[in-house]
Amino acid sequence: MQLETAQHDGLMVITLLEDRLDAAIALDFKDTMRDLTIDAPPRVVLDMQSVRFLDSSGLGAVIGAMKQLGSTRKLELAGLKPAVDKVFRLTRMDSIFTIHPNLAEALGPLPVDGAADPKGRAHAY
Amino acid sequence: MRIEHHLVPENPIEDTSHQNSVELRLVFPCTQSNVRLALASVMAGLGAMNLSEDDNSSIEIVLAEVLNNVTEHAYHDEGVGMIELQLKQTQSGLSCRVIDTGDAMPRNVPPAGNPPNPDCPLEHQPEGGFGWFLIRHLTRDLAYMRQKDRNILSFRIEVGQSISRN
């Protein structure tokens, strides 16, 4: 499973570089999210723009990843493709997450010139 | 994995020039990776139906949930046992039948698939139980039969019928 992380001010971005978040990788995904977010800031944004398909196991893993963050931190979602968005909407689980249309919206206004670039890392599991 | 992909006339007696229908039959050993391969084959095979992205995603979601259930519950994730998937394009959508020789469903009844509750406190929010809700929500005429050592689940997914309209 391929993921990338980037640290911004008070915000961590985790980009899932997989075509599918399904039963075949759901448990690995949840465990990996736990490892990656141990020292996460209050906001964690999961960028799902690469994910074309999500099944109920994948949905459960995203909910699990949110629960792992506890009550002081939040998992937000960005870049849901239509089939992924549909599973969130049909199950009404879209209402328990803050969902951004894309990562840029999640990050808010662009930083002023000279601001430090985010520190990024790639992870393979 | 054995894949049979036919483009056959739905009713050879009538004028078939605009009534070609897609039929697919897949038989494969039940592992999670084979479910992925089967879904890819099915979605490629159904390309001839020229469905909308929305219809395609409904089909992929339903079939993923059904095949995952067979793999996990009927065959206990042991990777032993075959799944047979039969799909046929009809006037009323995509007619589907899934056959396996794993354990029967509890009390021989498919789960109700109760709607999830987003208002439940996060720490108590279930991380599962969405599969049957999605299956029941996106299908019609769902029927389950235990026949000797076989589970036979049949249902219909309503989709646009662009081929018969054209």
For the segment B51-72, what is each residue's pLDDT rounded down to a tens digit? 999 999 999 999 999 999 999 9
- Taking CA–CA distances from A24, the nearest residue in chain B reads B32
Using a CB–CB cutoff of 8 Å, tell me whether A33 touches chain B: no
Using a CB–CB cutoff of 8 Å, tell me whether A81 touches chain B: no
Distance between CA atoms of residues A7 and B40, nearest Å: 35
Q: pLDDT exceeding 70 applies to what percent of chain B?
A: 85
Alpha helices in chain B (DSSP H): 32-45, 53-69, 131-138, 162-165
Using a CB–CB cutoff of 8 Å, tell me whether B124 touches chain A: no
Instruction: Supply the pLDDT for residue A125.
Output: 77
8 Å CB contact of A86 and B57: yes
Q: Is B22 helix (H, G, I), strand (E, B) or coil?
A: strand
Instruction: Supply the pLDDT for residue A124.
Output: 81
Distance between CA atoms of residues B94 and B110, nearest Å: 20
Instruction: Supply the pLDDT for residue B111.
Output: 96
| pTM (2 d.p.) | 0.88
8 Å CB contact of B72 and A23: yes
Using a CB–CB cutoff of 8 Å, tell me whether B153 touches chain A: no
8 Å CB contact of A23 and B32: yes
Question: What one-character-per-residue DSSP string does chain A give?
Answer: -EEEEEEETTEEEEEE--SEESTTTHHHHHHHHHHHTTT--SEEEEE-TT--EE-HHHHHHHHHHHHHT-SS-EEEEE---HHHHHHHHHTTGGGGSEEESSHHHHH-SPPPTTPPPPEEEEEE-
Q: Compute how many other C-beta atoms are within 10 angstroms of the C-beta atom of residue A9.
A: 10
Instruction: Supply the pLDDT for residue A109.
Output: 77
**b/e map A68-83, b = 16+ CB within 10 Å:** bbeeeebbbbbbbbeb
Instruction: Supply the pLDDT for residue B2.
Output: 61
Best residue in A56, A75, A88 to probe B by mutation, most B CBs within 10 Å? A56
8 Å CB contact of B61 and A60: no
Instruction: For A3, list phi and psi in degrees, rounded to 5.
Output: -135, 155
Residues of chain A short of pLDDT 70, as ranges, are 110-117
Residues of chain B short of pLDDT 70, as ranges, are 1-19, 161-166
Instruction: Supply the pLDDT for residue B165.
Output: 40
Within 8 A by CB and 6+ apart from A10, the residues are: A41, A42, A43
Instruction: Supply the pLDDT for residue A113.
Output: 59
Distance between CA atoms of residues A21 and B58, nearest Å: 16
**Both tokens assigned to B161:** 């019928």
Instruction: Supply the pLDDT for residue A119.
Output: 77
**Closest to A87 in 3D by CA, of B131, B23, B10:** B131
